[in-house]
Amino acid sequence: MLLPILMLGLLFWQCDKINQNTNPNVTEQTCEGCHTNLAALTTLATTTGSGDASGALAPLSPAQRVHIELGADQHGFSDIDSTHARMSCAGCHSGQSPVAEATDANAMSAAHQGLVRDPSVDPQLGCGGGLCHGDIARRHLTSIHRQGWGEKAQLALRYGGAGYSYSNAPVELSSGFEANRLLQSATCGQCHISRPIVTGGGFAGSATGGNHQFIRKPNIDFTCTACHSNTVGIEWRGELASETPDLHESFGFTCKTCHTEDFHGAGSSDADLTSVYDVEGIASCYTPCHVNDATKNIFHEKHWAGQGSESGLSCYVCHGQAIKHFESGYVSDYTQTYEAFKIGFNPNYQQADQHHSNEKWSVVRHTPVTRDAYSEWGISALPYFDEVPTYQRTSPHNLQRWTSRTLVESSWIDSSAAYNENTCWKNCHLHNLVNGSSAGPYNYDHFLMEGDLDAHDQQDEKLANASVTVDGGGNLCNACHAF
């Protein structure tokens, strides 16, 4: 497990290069002596590292990742974090400090004896040990951020069908999935000390690294939008070619403004989660911000989900922009992407035990899973692949008040007379009925059609997405008139 506190291939000791020590306040025979000495670390670095796989952050060099930056008035870790410094480096990471060996190789071997690179891999022994953060560590161990329950639930459905539990999955499937999941799983340290492993690691805090400070409220640029860079991060900042930053970003919102749920989890009950949308207290447009907007205008009156409308819409259907979709190939290749804005049916519509069951239409995103996605783990084909859509409800983080769907006429912002019930459909509906006959314009580009799957070589996924595509089954009229 890669964690920025210590890295494979980076020597811990610099006995014969004492003259390069840029921190004379501590001896180099200790953890601090080496890790506050950037010159020594740079000389000893033996690997270029993996860089930032997510593309969210400029990658740090191997030396920068483990370098503890000291401020002008700081002489050691106790000046950075006096509380945690009382436990000593070895108190959390084990290993040996100081060491007395006279050569680099021997010193490195001695210092790394019993080393635990990331004590929070097992939070109950690390961060939750003793009288520290026991309750938080216990809950985090079973949280969705740590376990990926939604992914596990979908894997179980595709492998064993309805009612099948991930816990019963064959070992070749579960072990392969868990190994891949570890590359994304969030430990305590990857939020509160370091950059996430998916970004290449390194201390958080600045563009050039950090100082192993325990950060109570993590910087979203080094945590949230770094891990979720391929979707939330680029949408929030408006980095796709066809979009602008989320309106809420311009108001100074951060992730925690909306996401007030406890990221540490609720405990063992989290194992029952089948989606991130099932998390208690998950962010909602409706409460507390827009709870009184259901009758604010005719758009809301007609389509506000849960207000008696027969065709409730997700907020994102009107207020979202184009998002990034992933081409097929979950395990082997998830780097091939395309931009599109697609509205599809919500399979959970009118299913009382499912999330967002009052929304008939949702914005959907393609997830990069294929029938043979787990072949390298010994599963040549997922037997129940067609039971789970590959286009799924999503929550774009690029909201705008005015979009191509809400700005019906150019003068709409200035004059309410610019639109009425006879014109509001123009930029949204598949068609409008005029004197009993179907009339254009047609907004097919907005909707997920089977032709979209053909265009992206997803023909094998048509059956899986029959409940999402608006022309699934070949009858376009059924999209609205006989759902």
- Report yes or no: 134 and 124 within 8 Å, Cβ to Cβ: yes
Tell me if residue 326 falls in helix, strand or coil: strand
Whole-number pLDDT of residue 229: 86
Q: Are residues 234 and 346 in the same domain?
A: no
Whole-number pLDDT of residue 115: 85
Q: Are residues 326 and 445 in the same domain?
A: yes
- Report yes or no: 12 and 104 within 8 Å, Cβ to Cβ: no
Cα separation, 54 vs 389, in Å, equals: 25
Q: Is residue 8 part of a domain?
A: no
Residue after which a domain boundary falls, among 121, 154, 182: 121
- The range of the structural domain enclosing residue 238 comes to 134-258
- Report yes or no: 243 and 322 within 8 Å, Cβ to Cβ: yes
Q: Are residues 355 and 463 in the same domain?
A: yes
Q: Are residues 443 and 339 in the same domain?
A: yes
Q: Is residue 53 part of a domain?
A: yes
Cα separation, 227 vs 197, in Å, equals: 9
Q: Are residues 80 and 175 in the same domain?
A: no
Q: Is residue 467 part of a domain?
A: yes
For 158, the token pair is 């595709």
Whole-number pLDDT of residue 59: 80
CA dihedral 448, 454, 457, 458 (to 10 degrees): 50
- Report yes or no: 20 and 39 within 8 Å, Cβ to Cβ: yes
pLDDT tens over the chain, length 483 residues: 333 333 333 333 333 333 334 455 566 677 888 888 888 778 767 654 445 555 567 788 888 888 999 888 888 889 999 999 988 888 899 998 888 876 656 776 787 789 888 888 888 778 988 788 999 999 999 999 999 999 999 999 999 999 999 999 999 888 888 887 766 788 999 999 998 888 888 888 776 668 899 999 888 888 898 888 888 999 999 998 878 999 999 999 999 999 999 999 998 888 899 999 999 889 999 888 998 998 888 788 888 887 766 678 999 999 999 999 998 765 555 678 899 999 999 988 888 888 888 899 999 999 988 999 888 888 899 999 999 999 999 999 999 998 888 876 654 444 454 555 566 677 888 776 554 556 665 788 999 999 999 999 999 999 999 999 998 766 666 666 654
For 382, the token pair is 């997922």
Q: Which residues contact 232 (CB under 8 A, 6 or more apart)?
A: 224, 225, 397
Whole-number pLDDT of residue 363: 97
- Report yes or no: 276 and 282 within 8 Å, Cβ to Cβ: yes
Q: Is residue 268 part of a domain?
A: no
Whole-number pLDDT of residue 12: 32
Q: Are residues 343 and 461 in the same domain?
A: yes
Whole-number pLDDT of residue 414: 45
Half-sphere exposure of 124 (CA within 13 A, CB side): 6
Q: Are residues 164 and 249 in the same domain?
A: yes
For 440, the token pair is 């254009």
Cα separation, 121 vs 188, in Å, equals: 8
Q: Which residues contact 404 (CB under 8 A, 6 or more apart)?
A: 427
| Domain count across the chain | 3
Q: Is residue 265 part of a domain?
A: no
Q: Are residues 68 and 180 in the same domain?
A: no
Amino acid at 468: V
Whole-number pLDDT of residue 4: 38
Whole-number pLDDT of residue 289: 92
Which string of DSSP letters, residue by residue, matches 412-436?
TTT-GGG--TTTTTTTTSS-EEETT
Whole-number pLDDT of residue 208: 67
Q: Is residue 444 part of a domain?
A: yes
- Report yes or no: 260 and 283 within 8 Å, Cβ to Cβ: yes
Whole-number pLDDT of residue 350: 86
3-class DSSP string for 54-92:
CCCCCCCCHHHHHCECCCCCCCCHHHHCHHHHCCCHHHH
Instruction: Output phi, psi for 406, to 5 deg.
Output: -90, -25
For 367, the token pair is 């997830």
Whole-number pLDDT of residue 131: 82
Q: Are residues 144 and 100 in the same domain?
A: no
Q: Are residues 377 and 240 in the same domain?
A: no
* Strand pairing report for 391-393 and 361-366: antiparallel
CB neighbours of residue 473 within 10 Å:
12
Q: Are residues 304 and 192 in the same domain?
A: no
* Strand pairing report for 343-345 and 437-439: unpaired
- Report yes or no: 90 and 61 within 8 Å, Cβ to Cβ: no
Cα separation, 27 vs 9, in Å, equals: 22
- Residue 374, sorted as left (phi over 0), alpha (psi -120 to 50) or beta, turns out to be alpha
Cα separation, 426 vs 109, in Å, equals: 71
Residue after which a domain boundary falls, among 86, 121, 156: 121
Cα separation, 381 vs 374, in Å, equals: 7
Q: Is residue 475 part of a domain?
A: yes
- Report yes or no: 467 and 341 within 8 Å, Cβ to Cβ: no
Q: Is residue 95 part of a domain?
A: yes
Whole-number pLDDT of residue 409: 60
Which runs of E-coded beta strand occur in 327-379?
A: 337-340, 343-345, 361-366
Residue after which a domain boundary falls, among 121, 142, 173: 121
| Strand partners for 339 | 324
Cα separation, 167 vs 306, in Å, equals: 35
Q: Which of 152, 146, 140, 156 is nearest to 182 (CA)?
A: 146
- Report yes or no: 65 and 58 within 8 Å, Cβ to Cβ: no
Q: Are residues 404 and 327 in the same domain?
A: yes
